[in-house]
Amino acid sequence: MTSPVGLHRVVEPAGVLPQAAWRLDADPRIAPNEVRIRVERLNLDAASFRQLAEKHGGDGAKVRAEVLEIVSTRGKMQNPVTGSGGMLIGTVEEVGRRSPLGLTAGDRVATLVSLTLTPLTILDGLARWDGRSEQVPCDGYAILFARSIAAVLPADLHPELALAVLDVCGAPALTARVVAEQVARRERAGDRSAVTVAVIGGGGKSGSLSLAAARRAGAGRTVGVVPVAAERDALVAAGLASVVALADARDPVGLSSAVTTALGGPADVTVVCVDVPGCEHGAVLATADGGTVIFFSMATSFAAAALGAEGLAADVTMLVGNGYVPGHADLALGLLRAEPGVRGLFESRLAAD
């Protein structure tokens, strides 16, 4: 019997969901409710790639070897240190007769579920990847379950650009929802004050999209926080934030000071989009009582966030960005098309990679 969530693909330990499993069965033969994708490119999530690059001192050959070892050992791409994976693009090879995903053989798609739960086999030894970028050209195959999510790649965007956007499309969608809720709540209460938003890591992929989404959802003032002058200058040029602040997100007092100075007080909504650990306390400290902190980084320690908020006596709501909001792919792609600043940052990042 085949499970819509992929339980039949779990090798060990028995009884857990594919994301929690140590090893999956990546057999290319599909069940009636599955889909097989011929993979052409992986997109490793930022936290995982950073950990691998730092572990190996930037040695691309060693990074490539470890990714191959992870996939061959585990039947999926799930970094054992960060627990995170990424996503992929490829072409649909075969569709089971009972698959509910609406895909057809020949469709070029991006998976909108994590590689941490996607059965994966690499066939070419990653021979075309130098191990120095998050995007990984490869040949292989992956299996989607009945409850998986995939988007047909848009014809008007280069696949690498679409992949980079879809990899983080949950962040702007949830940011937009939270900001819109805050705006509506104030309108109902007759409160004319502006909703303020801080995006920590505002110069990155998810951060730039979240800034654009917050503005579109009605935020009155936004601050993008970045760690270095080059990112500050790029984000200022992109025009996505009301103000850009320079701060180390791992310095709670410095981060809080930068946000409150930029906004004239703590943020109503703080969005954490950085790929380094240790940013939890600063995000909480930078957020107003009654505000919301959204954590999108896979480097986040949720124990540290919860205990930190308790220790600071901070009355904030903390949300875990789970990567899925209905309509998230269309929203993110729409922002890319409509916001030249977003597109410029994405294209510059891809060129640098």
- pTM of the entire predicted model: 0.86
Task: Among 153, 188, 207, give the residue marking a domain's end.
Answer: 153
Give the Cβ contact number of residue 99 at 10 Å: 20
pLDDT band, residue 1 (cuts 50/70/90) = low
Query: Is residue 202 classed as helix, strand or coil in its secondary structure?
Result: coil
Q: What is the pLDDT of residue 270?
A: 98
Q: How many domains does the chain have?
A: 2
Once rounded to an integer, what is the mean pLDDT over residues 338-345?
97
Residue 145 token pair: 């379950």
Q: What is the pLDDT of residue 33?
A: 96
Give the Cβ contact number of residue 61 at 10 Å: 11
Check whether residue 110 and residue 195 sit in a common domain: no
Check whether residue 232 and residue 104 sit in a common domain: no
Helix axes 170-188, 205-216, angle to 10 degrees: 30
Of 37-46, 122-131, 295-304, the least confident: 295-304
The neighbouring-strand residues paired with 270 are 198, 293
Range of the domain at 322: 169-351
Instruction: Assess if residue 96 is contained within a domain.
Output: yes
Residue appearing with tokens 């061959």: 72
Check whether residue 178 and residue 30 sit in a common domain: no
Once rounded to an integer, what is the mean pLDDT over residues 115-131?
97
Q: What is the pLDDT of residue 83?
A: 92
Q: Cα(259)–Cα(37) distance, rounded to whole angstroms?
A: 44
Q: Are 138 and 89 in contact (CB under 8 A)?
A: no
Torsion of CA 120, 123, 126, 127, to 10 degrees: -170
Check whether residue 143 and residue 185 sit in a common domain: no
| Stretch (H or E) spanning 46 | helix 46-55
Give the Cβ contact number of residue 143 at 10 Å: 26
Check whether residue 230 and residue 314 sit in a common domain: yes
Number of helical (H) and strand (E) elements in the chain, helices listed first = 11, 14
Q: Tell me: the pLDDT tens digits for 264-285? A: 999 999 999 998 889 999 999 9
Q: Is the pLDDT of residue 204 over 80?
A: yes
Type of residue numbered 139: D
Residue appearing with tokens 């040029």: 237
Check whether residue 251 and residue 331 sit in a common domain: yes
Q: Tell me: the pLDDT tens digits for 90-114? A: 999 999 999 999 999 999 999 999 9
Q: What CATH number has the domain bearing residue 321?
A: 3.40.50.720
